[in-house]
Amino acid sequence: MKLAHLADLHFGRENRDALSAAAGIIRELDVDAIVVSGDLTQRGKREEFQAAQEWLSKFSAPVLSIPGNHDTPLLNLPARAADAFGRYERYFGGLTRPLQLDGVSIRGLNTSRGWQARMNWAEGSVNLDDLDAAIGPPDACEGEVRIVACHHPFQSPEKASLQTATRRGAEASARLAASPVQILLTGHVHTPHAELIREPQGRYIAITAGTLSTRLRAQPPAFNIISIQDGIAVLNVQSFEGGRFHEATHGSWDIERVEPIRTPRVVEMSKK
């Protein structure tokens, strides 16, 4: 099982060379699904949504996409307040459905808001009822890999140049750790990152994708390839430098125990 995990495409400020090269890698790897963790557009304009829709339509793999804070009408405040994601739904509403693959369940969660009662509307907010729905029933098939995808990290990645504060993020993190979900896929900070989040209630793997736009924050354009095989999840980050992508392994985990594994097991798996 191979998943392409993208975020922050920002059509309107997209990096066309990186997008073209990324499309080639995704097709070459014949991924089983594509997950987009928000910010498909820069200002939520129709032409930006159309460009994002056209790019994603090139792939035969199923796509799950959730909105980011940039996918609202940036300059239309009444629309942001009354129908923040109406335009997004018209273009991508069909891609917000859960994906049920062979032994892998992926569900989306909208952490973005059109407006908030705080200064920075770009920050995320978790509706805990929506999170429970994304987590799903606890009695899922035994051995199933369960993934939740959203735009904002519940806990801000320490190494990201952009630090973020997601409302109810601490409670969401604890609730996710106590659930059967093993992996959280996010974006927003434009920095590839992976870490094991340990809470008193349990643990989960937090994976953040970079950006494929020109809106860089100390890191080159990047996206993730996540491989799941024989109970092992491996994160390979594709970073765009010198006109092409370079691959590097950023982590590997035993899915059942939700624990990191040693590098030799990754090497052994890659030789199969």
User: pLDDT tens, position by position, for the chain (272 residues)?
Assistant: 999 999 999 999 999 999 999 999 999 999 999 999 999 999 999 999 999 999 999 999 999 999 999 999 877 777 777 789 999 999 999 999 999 999 999 999 999 998 777 778 889 999 999 999 999 988 766 779 999 999 999 999 987 777 888 999 999 999 999 999 999 999 999 999 999 999 999 999 999 999 999 999 889 999 999 999 999 999 999 999 999 999 999 999 999 999 999 654 433 333 33
The Cα-based distances of 107 to 44, 69, 96, 97, 213 in angstroms read 23, 19, 8, 7, 25
How many Cβ atoms sit within 10 Å of the Cβ of residue 51? Answer: 18
Domains detected in the chain: 2-270 (3.60.21.10)
Report whether 210 contacts 219 (CB < 8 A). yes
Q: Which of 114, 134, 140, 135 is nearest to 125 (CA)?
A: 114
The radius of gyration computed from the CA coordinates of the chain, to the nearest angstrom, equals: 17
Q: Which of 247, 232, 38, 74 is nearest to 151 (CA)?
A: 38
b/e code 214-252 from CB counts within 10 Å (16+ = b) = ebeeebbbbbbbbbbeeebbbbbbbbbeeeebeeeeebb
Q: How far apart are CA 11 and CA 53, in angstroms?
A: 10
What helix, strand, coil percent values describe the chain, rounded to 5? Answer: 25, 30, 45
Report whether 151 contacts 109 (CB < 8 A). no
Beta-carbon contacts of residue 165 (< 8 Å; ≥ 6 apart): 123, 156
154 φ/ψ sector (left φ>0, alpha ψ -120 to 50, else beta): alpha
The Cα-based distances of 102 to 141, 228, 236 in angstroms read 11, 11, 21
Report whether 232 contacts 257 (CB < 8 A). no
Helices assigned H by DSSP within the chain: 16-29, 46-56, 77-83, 86-92, 128-135, 169-177, 263-270
128-131-132-136 Cα dihedral, nearest 10 degrees: 180
Give the residue carrying structure tokens 């992508």: 245
Note the pLDDT of residue 139. Answer: 76
Q: How far apart are CA 33 and CA 30, in angstroms?
A: 9
Q: What is the pTM of this model?
A: 0.93
Return the structure tokens found at 65: 């996409």
Note the pLDDT of residue 268. Answer: 38
